[in-house]
Chains A and B, each alone.
Chain A
């Protein structure tokens, strides 16, 4: 019954490292999203993609990039991790029809030390 899978549940990385967060969905959805969630700040959209090789900046794209080489996979990249990127990262998948729901992964809790 798994629909959206994030590659890691917990991750600890060092400052300056290049970090890849992977997300895979099995629903053939066109739209995929990356959010970060910090206490008191809700879900903030980092990047989203509406098709293979297409990407759009969300509300807080600085310090991040993304890759969508295949429809089912959407990767979030931290080119040079910093301590202020310590957060919970959530991936979501959405069919695009306004009457459908979005499905979320279980989240990756990233700590940058």
Chain B
């Protein structure tokens, strides 16, 4: 199973762009990269998913280089409400037993 590595924490200020990079050196051919966001006392929720190149939605952008060994979640113009823990997850294929394992996540603190 691909293991992910991401920074433990990041601080930012309102209006800035936040970029969180996740390393997944052992990613398999069929694996997608998914990012989740978790607020205190809540379960994680899906924010974005990609396989290669760039994906953008109303919340974030996800950049994946050609070798797919890392990915970068970009949060544009963050606000205080973006303070949360962000998890990078390499989705398992059925061949891997569908074992969803989360790493420690990146704690993002947005300051006024």
Instruction: Provide the bound-state CA to CA distance between A43 and B100, in Å.
Output: 10
Contacts of A56 in B (CB 8 A): 97, 99
A-B interface pairs (CB < 8 A), number: 66
Contacts of B25 in A (CB 8 A): none
Contacts of A45 in B (CB 8 A): 99-102
Q: Are A50 and B97 in contact (CB under 8 A)?
A: yes
Contacts of B41 in A (CB 8 A): 88, 107, 109
Contacts of A96 in B (CB 8 A): 94, 98
Interface of B is mostly: loop
Size range of the interface on A? 20 to 34
- Determine whether B42 belongs to the interface, using a CB cutoff of 8 Å to chain A: yes
Q: Are B43 and A92 in contact (CB under 8 A)?
A: yes
What is the minimal beta-carbon distance from A38 to any residue of chain B, in angstroms? 11
What are the nearest 8 A-B pairs in CB distance?
A104-B43, A101-B46, A42-B104, A43-B102, A98-B91, A31-B98, A98-B32, A90-B43
